[in-house]
Amino acid sequence: MALNVVIMAAGKGTRMKSTLPKVLHRLAGRPLLQHVLDAAAPLQAARTVLITGHGAEAVEAMAAGSGAVYARQMPQLGTGHAVQQAAPLLDDEATTTVVLNGDVPLVQTATIAALAAACGGTRLALLTVELADATGYGRILRKGDAVQAIVEHKDASPAQRAIREVYTGIMAAPTAALRRWLAQLTNDNAQGEYYLTDVVALAAAEGVAVVAAPASGETEVLGVNSPQQLADLERRFQAANALRLMEAGVRLADPARLDVRGTLTCGADVEIDVNCVFEGRVVLGDGVRVGPNCVIRDAEIGPGTAIHAFTHIDEAVVGAGALIGPYARLRPGAALADEVHIGNFVEVKNSTLARGAKANHLAYLGDATVGERVNFGAGSITANYDGANKHRTVIGNDVHVGSNCVLVAPLVLGDGATIGGGSTLSKDAPAGALTVARARPVTLPGWHRPRKTPAR
Sign of CA dihedral 237, 243, 244, 249: positive
Answer whether 212's CB lies under 8 Å from 124's CB: no
Question: Strand, helix or coil at 405?
Answer: coil
Q: Which does 81 bind (CB under 5 to 8 A by kind): Mg ion, ligand UD1, none?
A: ligand UD1
* Of 3, 202, 237, 224, the residue nearest 115 (C-alpha): 3
Angle of helix 175-183 relative to helix 79-86, nearest 10 degrees, comes to 120
Please name every residue paired with 210 in a beta bridge, in sequence order, or none if there are none.
124
* Of 3, 56, 2, the residue nearest 33 (C-alpha): 56
What is the C-alpha to C-alpha distance for residues 126 and 202, in angstroms, rounded to an integer? 14
Q: Is 82 left (phi over 0), alpha (psi -120 to 50) or beta?
A: alpha
417 belongs to the binding site for ligand UD1 (CB under 6 A): no
What is the C-alpha to C-alpha distance for residues 131 and 141, in angstroms, rounded to an integer? 15
What is the C-alpha to C-alpha distance for residues 186 and 277, in angstroms, rounded to an integer? 49
Exactly one of 81, 153, 308, 361 is catalytic; which is it?
Answer: 361
What is the C-alpha to C-alpha distance for residues 220 and 432, in angstroms, rounded to an integer? 65
293 belongs to the binding site for ligand UD1 (CB under 6 A): no
- Site residues for ligand UD1, window 164-223 (CB under 6 A)? 166-169, 195-197, 223
CB-based burial of residue 145 (10 Å sphere; 0-12 exposed, 13-18 middle, 19+ buried)? exposed
Stretch that binds ligand UD1, among 74-82, 325-333, 351-359, 403-411 (CB under 6 A): 74-82
Q: Which does 34 bind (CB under 5 to 8 A by kind): Mg ion, ligand UD1, none?
A: none
Q: Which does 174 bind (CB under 5 to 8 A by kind): ligand UD1, Mg ion, none?
A: none
Q: Please, which residue, 168 or 175, has the CB nearer to ligand UD1?
A: 168
Q: Please, which residue, 223 or 321, has the CB nearer to Mg ion?
A: 223
Query: Cβ 113 to ligand UD1, closest distance in Å?
Result: 20
What Å distances lie between residue 389 and 183, 330, 367, 386, CA to CA? 64, 21, 11, 6
84 belongs to the binding site for ligand UD1 (CB under 6 A): no
Known catalytic residue at 308: no
What is the C-alpha to C-alpha distance for residues 334 and 123, in angstroms, rounded to an integer? 56
Q: Please, which residue, 25 or 329, has the CB nearer to ligand UD1?
A: 25
Please name every residue paired with 98 in a beta bridge, in sequence order, or none if there are none.
5, 172
**Number of neighbours of residue 101 by Cβ within 10 angstroms:** 23
Q: Please, which residue, 127 or 413, has the CB nearer to ligand UD1?
A: 127
- Site residues for Mg ion, window 219-258 (CB under 5 A)? 223
The strand pair at 124-130 and 165-174 is best described as antiparallel
350 belongs to the binding site for ligand UD1 (CB under 6 A): no
HEC-encoded secondary structure of 126-158? EEEEECCCCCCCCEEEEECCEEEEEECHHHCCH
Choose which of 101, 111, 382, 397 interacts with ligand UD1 (CB under 6 A). 101
Query: Cβ 263 to ligand UD1, closest distance in Å?
Result: 27
What is the per-residue binding string for ligand UD1 in 26-55, x denoting contact by CB under 6 A?
A: -------------------------x-x--
What is the C-alpha to C-alpha distance for residues 374 and 358, in angstroms, rounded to an integer? 6
Q: Which does 51 bind (CB under 5 to 8 A by kind): ligand UD1, Mg ion, none?
A: ligand UD1
100 belongs to the binding site for ligand UD1 (CB under 6 A): no
Rounded to a whole number of angstroms, the CA Rg of the chain reads 31
Choose which of 82, 284, 296, 417 interacts with ligand UD1 (CB under 6 A). 82
Query: Cβ 225 to ligand UD1, closest distance in Å?
Result: 7
394 belongs to the binding site for ligand UD1 (CB under 6 A): no
Question: Strand, helix or coil at 182?
Answer: helix
Choose which of 81, 261, 297, 358 interacts with ligand UD1 (CB under 6 A). 81
Query: Cβ 2 to ligand UD1, closest distance in Å?
Result: 24
Q: Please, which residue, 33 or 368, has the CB nearer to ligand UD1?
A: 33
What is the per-residue binding string for Mg ion in 326-365, x denoting contact by CB under 5 A?
A: ----------------------------------------
DSSP state, residue 116: H
Query: Cβ 11 to ligand UD1, closest distance in Å?
Result: 2
Query: Cβ 208 to ligand UD1, closest distance in Å?
Result: 19
Sign of CA dihedral 112, 116, 118, 119: positive
What is the per-residue binding string for ligand UD1 in 107-146, x denoting contact by CB under 6 A?
A: ------------------------------xx--------
Stretch that binds ligand UD1, among 98-106, 377-385, 392-400, 434-442 (CB under 6 A): 98-106
CB-based burial of residue 187 (10 Å sphere; 0-12 exposed, 13-18 middle, 19+ buried)? middle
Query: Cβ 78 to ligand UD1, closest distance in Å?
Result: 5
Residues classed as catalytic: 361
Q: Which positions touch ligand UD1 (CB under 6 A)? A: 8-11, 51, 53, 73, 76-79, 81-82, 101-103, 137-138, 150, 152, 166-169, 195-197, 223
